[in-house]
Amino acid sequence: MNFNPGLSWEFLSADEIAAKTIRALRNHIQYVKASSPYYKEALKGVVPEDLRTIDDIAGLPLTDRTVLAAGSAAVAAAAPSAIIETVATSGATGRPIFIGLTDSDLDRLAFSEALSFNAMGISSSDRVLLLVGMDGMALPSLGYYRGLTLLHATIGRAGLPGHQLFRQYLEEFRPTVLLGAPSFLRRLTLDLTKNGYRPAESGVQKIVGVGESLKNADMSINAPGKKLEEDWNAKVFGSYAITELADSFADCLERSGGHAHPELLYAEVVDDKGNPLPDNTPGELVATTFGIEGMPLLRYRTGDITFRVPGDCACGRKSFRIGPILGRTDEMLKVNNQSVFPLVVTNALDELDEIGDYIITIGGDGLHGDRASIHVAAQPSAVERIANHVRNAARVSFPILISNVSTIQSMRGAWRRNARILDERHSGFRRG
């Protein structure tokens, strides 16, 4: 497979994208009604030709995550013999969802990630060090690898090394791009500098942050992003991937929002009833996938809260853009009768150098508000400053509990090494 960015619709006019989207959606509905047991029932009475404008999409039924959690086989559209790769969600929001991918689905995944990296200016001349786990049936890391391969970039699969091995990779592999979770990269950076290494002289030019936001709600680069840029003398870019969609929303060189790939996915931001929201208004991200054979989805509720960035991007792309992920629909905090986006709290904590690590624990019965505490790896003398800083950002107070890095890591569990939130409000608990 050769990478041809000209196949993308991103630079078409808004009207051209809308017209192509309607045609793609009609084909999508025809396919899922014929191939998926779940959608055959859910879309009874829906006639593809009745969709004439983009506004008609809001009248189609939503697909909830619980449908997939109950058994993705009912949603699957491809024959078992056509599946050549199975991936799974992390299980952070409940039972893992297992998703079968066909050969065509893997090509689509590679094309999606290649588009994202191409928009960041990554090319065949780059040397990319992947600092993500390649195990656990994870789709994002598979996508990063295949997308970079399609671009003919030179790839080093480093996994999650300690700082000594990371230094050897930097010195021998000489990457121009690092890709990993910002909090993990930050910890590696601190360890490197403590041991005399100067990241700014490494030759790294770009850092792609995955799994965690690199922006504040006002679209400015947040504290972890600024620190990485300062330490490495490099530019940071964000990429937000969703396993169920086999797709990602990623920054371009302008870094003004995560671009959707319109030929692969139709995105919406909706209220709790599924109605589209105006630009800059936080709501749930909903998406319809195009071109997936294994487990195609229609108006899938991701559970992630974000907003649509208004206007056209300065890069020239006319594609749908989203802001940072502010939290999840089941993760919103209600403290002292005030709603708080988790991103506001985590960004405030990330701004403080005296915190080595942290995790926010959330409890409550859902009737009398939430109980939230912040466990920090910091000196006791820092408690007052941390509490004041978080209160000024979130407009509510949180108990600050002194802990240590090893205890916080054990609270996360080995399967969610970078989790910032431990939510115990629901049956069992979830890590986010």
DSSP assignment string, 330-358 = TT-EEETTEEE-HHHHHHHHHT-TT-S-E
Report whether pLDDT(242) > 50. yes
| Tokens describing residue 383 | 């408690």
420 within 8 A of 430, measured Cβ to Cβ? no
Measured CA to CA in angstroms, residue 11 lies from 16, 122, 322 at distances of: 10, 18, 17
What's the confidence (pLDDT) of residue 258? 97
pLDDT value of position 426 = 56
Among the ranges given (48-57, 86-95, 290-299), the one the predictor scored with the smallest mean pLDDT: 86-95
C-alpha distances out from residue 96 to 220, 243, 248, 260, 343, Å: 33, 11, 19, 25, 24
Cα 141–Cα 163–Cα 235 angle in degrees, nearest 5: 60
Choice between 341 and 307, residue whose per-residue pLDDT is larger = 307
Secondary structure of residue 218 in the 3-state scheme: coil
Report helix angle 342-350 to 223-232, nearest 10: 40
Residue 415 predicted with pLDDT over 90: no
**pLDDT of 229 strictly over 60:** yes
C-alpha distances in Å from residue 19, one per residue of 12, 24, 28, 291, 413: 11, 9, 14, 17, 47
**What distance lies between CA 121 and its chain's CA centroid?**
20
Least confident of 53-67, 128-142, 321-335, 362-376: 362-376
Four-residue CA torsion sign, 226, 232, 236, 242 = negative
Residue entry with tokens 């069992």: 428
Across 84-113, average pLDDT: 89
Distance CA 106, CA 104 (A): 5
Q: What is the per-residue pLDDT for 331?
A: 72
Say what percent of the chain tops pLDDT 70: 95
pLDDT (0 to 100) of residue 333: 77
Residue 428, pLDDT above cutoff 60: no
Domains and CATH numbers, the chain: 1-326 (3.40.50.12780), 330-431 (3.30.300.30)
pLDDT given for residue 366 in this prediction: 56
Residue of 307, 356, 362, 303 whose CA lies nearest to 330: 303
Among candidates 267, 282, 279, which has minimal Cα distance to 217? 282
CA distance 342 to 330: 11
Residue 66 host element (H or E): helix 65-69
In this structure, the dihedral spanned by the alpha carbons of residues 402, 407, 408 and 411, taken in order and rounded to 10 degrees, is: -130
β-strands 421-423, 358-363 pairing: parallel
Average pLDDT over all residues of the chain = 91
Whether 330 contacts 107, CB under 8 Å: no
Give the pLDDT score at 199.
97
The reported pTM is 0.87
- Contact by Cβ (8 Å): 411, 429: no
pLDDT at residue 94 greater than cutoff 70: no
CB neighbour list of residue 309: distance below 8 Å, 6 or more residues apart:
219, 256, 257, 279, 280, 321, 322, 323
Measured in residues, the chain has a length of 432
